[in-house]
Amino acid sequence: MDIINSLITSNDKKILLVVIDGLGGLPKDGKTELESARLLYLNELAEQSSLGLTIPVDYGITPGSGPAHLALFGYDPIKYQIGRGVLEAVGVGLEIGKDDLCVRVNFSTIDQNGIITDRRAGRIATELNQKICELLSEKIKKIDDVEIIIRPGKEHRFVVVFRGKDLDTNISESDPQKEGKSPIKIKALSSQALKTERIVNIFVTQVAEILKNESRANYILMRGFAKHPNLEPISQRYKIKPAAIATYPMYKGIARLVGMEVLGCDETWESEIKTLTKYYNDYDFFYLHFKEVDMKGEDGNFDGKVFLIEKFDALLPQILKLKFDVLTITSDHSTPAILKGHSWHPNPFLLNSVYGRADGIKIFSEASCALGSLGLFQQLKVMPLLLAHSLKIKKYGA
């Protein structure tokens, strides 16, 4: 990647990276979700594009959203990792600063002897979670010089951000991962983390005191201590002016972590495309994320996923009329409905550019992409390909 960096040049060509989350699938009755969808515009576009399949991390590796997106954005997902606490924090919509220590926390139940009887507090309702978090936020605003920020997640999960100087991630977790045990004492694993140890333990004690009369959520377990990954900003790495358009906090958050500007927009696909149109002139790289396809996959809703892929197809002309110099339509990872979760399968990948070789393949599907001239390649190579097709990479050697 160092070679690419040294060869990057900027110009006014515009790149659009469309990510249909969880697009790739697996067959039910012989056809995948993508193959089952009626694709008028995507198939037409495929014929004039280069196709391929991308491997998110490595053969057989099912990525989370973090590594899958890092690879898409050109950051080696093995070398660079976004800590769990940070992913959870950006997932609930928090903006993370360089000094913040982020932790994901479970409400849990302990008995009178301090033994954990339920690590997830019976998966309390999200509404209860929100109420408790509100209460905690009111009662615990600061510990010493460290600001405390609490945000509810789903069911028993929430996020706490410790905002202050000299906090450290090198600290042990308190979740013993089993019921019938005591919470593990949180301890600094190096002298740099002694302040963190003290603040975090005070926090746990204060929370336990406030929650002592709760029937189920009467204790907390903490793990995934993490700070900002401090990645080289993508604008610097690739000399682009990048903007992100997404509706879910997680994806806005990851985009922010790599240094993209996140554009405000409403929570519909139509609004996302409207935002893209509005800001077309202001940036030369757009990451445009469509989330709900993945959720249908996670739910095991094959037909619902097909329906949303067809919805994207119907919206495609609005994107095409903007005439990006380089347009890619792909995914971060596959989410086959029959698996009800992410998978390791490669992502269908389409690249349209006047400087690309049109493969003439008239179908956009997992199988047709396997026949494309771009072959089966690492997701990490997506950015170099996009940059090359927009003539933003100079010649290597003479």
Nearest to 119 by CA among 212, 183, 69: 183
CB of 144 vs a second copy, minimal distance in Å: 30
Largest CA distance in the chain: 75
Q: Examine residue 356 and tell whether it contacts a second copy (CB under 8 A).
A: yes
Given its phi and psi angles, is residue 59 left (phi above 0), alpha (psi -120 to 50 degrees) or beta?
Answer: beta
Sole window of 11-19, 192-200, 265-273, 349-357 interacting with a second copy (rule: CB under 8 A): 349-357
Please report, as residue ranges, which positions from 283 to 342 form the binding site for a second copy (by CB under 8 A). 336, 338-339, 341-342
Q: Examine residue 264 and tell whether it contacts a second copy (CB under 8 A).
A: no
CB of 87 vs a second copy, minimal distance in Å: 5
Residues 26, 343 contacting (CB under 8 angstroms): yes
Size of the site for a second copy (CB under 8 A): 63
**Binder among 43, 61, 155, 315 for a second copy (CB under 8 A):** 61
Nearer to a second copy, 79 or 165 (CB): 79
Which DSSP letter does residue 18 get? Answer: E
50-55: strand order across its sheet: 261-262, 242-245, 285-290, 15-20, 326-330, 347-353, 50-55, 375-378
Please list, in sequence order, all residues whose beta carbon lies within 8 angstroms of the beta carbon of residue 291, skipping any fewer than 6 positions away: 21, 246, 247, 248, 251
**Length of the chain in residues, anyone?**
398
**Binder among 184, 208, 262, 371 for a second copy (CB under 8 A):** 371
In angstroms, the Cα distances linking 15 to 75, 240, 284, 388 are 18, 10, 6, 11
Residues 15, 288 contacting (CB under 8 angstroms): no
Nearer to a second copy, 108 or 347 (CB): 347
Q: Examine residue 359 and tell whether it contacts a second copy (CB under 8 A).
A: yes
**Binder among 29, 59, 209, 264 for a second copy (CB under 8 A):** 59
Residue type, 383: M
Sole window of 124-132, 212-220, 307-315, 378-386 interacting with a second copy (rule: CB under 8 A): 378-386
Q: Examine residue 176 and tell whether it contacts a second copy (CB under 8 A).
A: no
CB of 253 vs a second copy, minimal distance in Å: 12
Q: Examine residue 394 and tell whether it contacts a second copy (CB under 8 A).
A: yes
CA distance 8 to 4: 6
Q: Examine residue 63 and tell whether it contacts a second copy (CB under 8 A).
A: yes
CA distance 194 to 201: 11
Please report, as residue ranges, which positions from 64 to 103 form the binding site for a second copy (by CB under 8 A). 64-67, 77-78, 81-82, 84, 87-88
CB of 153 vs a second copy, minimal distance in Å: 12
Q: Which two tokens stand for residue 70?
A: 């890092």
CB of 377 vs a second copy, minimal distance in Å: 7
CB of 60 vs a second copy, minimal distance in Å: 3
CA distance 240 to 235: 5
Q: Examine residue 171 and tell whether it contacts a second copy (CB under 8 A).
A: no
CA distance 277 to 74: 25
Q: Examine residue 231 and tell whether it contacts a second copy (CB under 8 A).
A: no
CA distance 398 to 383: 23
Residue type, 318: Q
The site for a second copy (CB under 8 A) is made up of: 3-4, 7, 26-27, 30, 32, 53, 57-67, 77-78, 81-82, 84, 87-88, 336, 338-339, 341-346, 354-360, 366-367, 370-377, 381, 384-385, 387-388, 393-398
